[in-house]
Amino acid sequence: MIYASDFRNGVTFEINGEPHVVLDFQHVKPGKGAAFVRTKYRNILTGATREEAFNPNDKFPKAHIETKVMQYLYSDGEFYYFMDGETYDQVPLTADQVEDAIKFMRENDEATIKFYKGNAFLVEAPNFVNLKVTETEPGVKGNTATNVTKPATVETGATVQVPIFIDVDEVIQIDTRTGEYLGRAK
């Protein structure tokens, strides 16, 4: 059990049997009346955000979130299959579960998958990936003085805005959290 007075950013707890994570908290001690904890939290499964004030003595069950690094194997069109490197168990996940991460992942890449009560709810690609540009318009010679960008499609099918000097078959580094071009891969 966890008390509301112990809330900190990133703490996971359960309300009505559903897991939530604390996004922001503030311990308030007004001049008159009892102290309270003003909390902003998000439902881990649905993504819904809520703000609520709790008594510091309110108790909640701690939500245990399991994190595993797993290898992306393949997609059969309906499911995306990930394998646990320790047990070799394969986990099929739907497109909704992998939507943000899969656009930056190739087969055999590793991903961080978070589980609640044995069910996967979040897939995170590595923060930075190096991918080959498969399609982009050729740059115009001499037009390099400004921060002009153009769309480029990488080998996973994702589209990223890149500077105009980037050509097909170049390997670029991408921040998967924002989808931004960081530079040429070293």
Bridge partners (DSSP) of residue 54 are 37
pLDDT digits (tens, 9 = 90+) for 159-171: 999 988 888 999 9
CA dist., res. 153 & res. 135, Å (int): 5
Over residues 7-27, the mean pLDDT reads 91
pLDDT bucket at 31, cuts 50 / 70 / 90: confident
pLDDT bucket at 9, cuts 50 / 70 / 90: confident
Q: Say what the pLDDT of residue 57 is.
A: 93
- The answer on pLDDT for 103 being more than 80 is yes
Q: Say what the pLDDT of residue 140 is.
A: 66
pLDDT bucket at 52, cuts 50 / 70 / 90: very high
Is residue 98 packed enough to be buried (19+ CB in 10 Å), middle (13-18) or exposed (0-12)? buried
DSSP for 60-83, written as a single string: EPBP-EEEEEEEEEEE-SS-EEEE
pLDDT bucket at 143, cuts 50 / 70 / 90: low
Q: Say what the pLDDT of residue 142 is.
A: 62
Strands (E), 94-176: 110-116, 119-124, 128-136, 149-154, 159-163, 171-175
Contacting residues for 110 by C-beta, under 8 A, at least 6 apart:
69, 70, 71, 72, 126
- The answer on pLDDT for 26 being more than 90 is yes
Model-level pTM? 0.74
**Of residues 69 and 97, more confidently modeled:** 69
Q: Say what the pLDDT of residue 175 is.
A: 93
pLDDT bucket at 44, cuts 50 / 70 / 90: confident
pLDDT bucket at 99, cuts 50 / 70 / 90: confident
CA dist., res. 166 & res. 139, Å (int): 7
Q: Say what the pLDDT of residue 96 is.
A: 82
Bridge partners (DSSP) of residue 150 are 162
